[in-house]
Chain A
Amino acid sequence: MTGVLFPVYAAPTPSPFYGNVDLPDYLDRFVTAGGENVAGGALVVIFNIFLRLTLVIAGFFAIWKFIEAGYSFMNAGGQPEKITEARDKITFTIFGLLIMASALVLAGIIGLIFYQDATAIISPKIIGAPQ
């Protein structure tokens, strides 16, 4: 049972079953070196762009929440429930940021455990039919 669970990466260069999808030229700068001719690579590039955008937006959102929490502290005026609310605001923002930042690490670890490859989820490959 200690062997490879599934022959996910059995073929060295799996060919996609739907043919080839070429990446538009203006997306070339998002392709990492060596990922030019990977099966299903274009889909992964698009997905990673959206993921990166989401993380950046979340970062700005978190900064906004911190500032908001600061204002809440100032306006609490010693009322315990409002202070608790402001503290909750900071705590949950930190939790959310930690979860989002650790999502990629989690994906890497889960990929390493379940797929024998840390990049299995982060830059997935589409496994084609045997030729």
Chain B
Amino acid sequence: MINKVNFLIGRLLLAIVYWLVASGLLPVYASPTPANEVDINRDFPFFSRFGTIGSLVNVLLPNVLIFAGIILLVYTVMGGFNMIRAAGSGDAEAAGKAKQTLTYGLVGFVIIFTAALVIKLIEFLTGISIFNPEQTQFK
């Protein structure tokens, strides 16, 4: 138990350090990259336009949220179709399953959007721009 907790705390600290390095808040003094090593700015110019992991997530997040909406639409249609299919077939389980498809589709959508809204709330309350850490201005 203690081992598990220690492991998780260690991973959490590691993730925080990764995040600080990636977001540019923690400067890493690296020597210029030799020619036989990989420099993302030099070798992958496509990804160099995302200055931080935050700005990459910033591009992906709206697409993820829109995809969640599309999935919700698909599940709603699927639930309706299954409800027609289960109509009067005698087994209450199939109708219940169709109802569950609808319910949990909506619940999942709400959870996804709640996650995004919590991030926005934290940004609003603390003034930290989570997805653009370099734009954070402390007054």
Contacts and interface: CB of A to CB of B under 8 A. Distances in A.
B50 A129 contact: yes
Contacts of B86: 92
Q: Is the interface of A mostly helix, strand, loop or mixed?
A: helix
A124 B70 contact: yes
B63 interface: yes
A128 B62 CA distance: 10
A75 B113 CA distance: 49
B69 A110 contact: yes
Contact of A7 (B62, B82, B83, B88): B62
Given A103-B76, A115-B66, A130-B59, A62 B84 contact: yes
Q: Is the interface of B mostly helix, strand, loop or mixed?
A: helix
Contacts of B116: 5-6
Interface of A: 1, 5-8, 17, 47, 51, 54-55, 58, 61-62, 65, 68-69, 72, 85-86, 88-93, 95-100, 103-104, 106-107, 110-111, 114-115, 120-122, 124-131
Interface of B: 49-50, 55, 59, 61-63, 65-67, 69-70, 72-73, 76-77, 79-88, 90, 95, 98, 102, 109, 113, 116-117, 120-121, 124
